[in-house]
Amino acid sequence: MLDIDIANERILKEYIDGPTIYDLVKNDAMKDLYLMQMREMAKVVYEAGLNIDYFPTNFIVQDEKIFYIGSSLHFGGGLLRDRKTICQCSFGRQP
């Protein structure tokens, strides 16, 4: 994520090149490493009280790391709009 425009409800994201988890599973190329990363991500998101869309097309693998590219990030039933919290949930990747 590069920037958030709360007033206009827009998010600017960087392009991340790589296959989706969906593509990897479909082509029998899923690695245990990715599953481990997904579990760790789910743990961090859950402990933060957040909810993301876990559909496999919302995750891209680049350089053996998984990135969440979905646009849905919810907190307590509503869309999360706090930029600092979103960055922290992205495992320290600052815009």
Q: Which position has the higher pLDDT, 79 or 8? A: 8
35 pLDDT higher than 60: yes
What is the C-alpha separation between 22 and 42, in angstroms, rounded? Answer: 17
pLDDT tens for each residue of 62-93: 999 998 887 665 554 444 444 444 433 444 34
Report the pLDDT value the prediction gives residue 72, as an integer from 0 to 100. 63
Q: How confident is the model at residue 37 (pLDDT cuts 50, 70, 90)?
A: very high
What is the C-alpha separation between 83 and 89, in angstroms, rounded? Answer: 10
Q: Is the dihedral of CA 62, 46, 55, 6 positive or negative?
A: negative
